[in-house]
Amino acid sequence: GNALKLISSSAIDEVIITDTVYQSSLVLNNKKITVVTVAPLLAEAIRRIETGESISKDLIL
């Protein structure tokens, strides 16, 4: 749709999204969009589950 055009022309300074779903080059090259990775968070959650540690103690935001 028009989401990228609307974001680009808006007063919004930055939109932060995660890398949990594929993003097209149009999204990735938009100067107002920042993509952050969740890989370290997922890796730590998996490690804690595997070792029986709490994931809610430090990982729940």
Model confidence, pTM:
0.72
Q: CA end-to-end span of the chain, whole Å?
A: 31
Strands (E), the chain: 15-18, 33-36
> What confidence score (pLDDT) does residue 55 get?
86
- Does the pLDDT of residue 58 top 90, yes or no? no
- Does the pLDDT of residue 47 top 90, yes or no? yes
pLDDT tens track for 21-30: 999 999 999 9
- Vertex 48 angle, CA 39 and 58, to 5°: 75
Q: What percent of the chain has pLDDT over 90?
A: 84
Taking the CA atoms of 38, 41, 45 and 51 in sequence, report the sign of the dihedral they define: positive
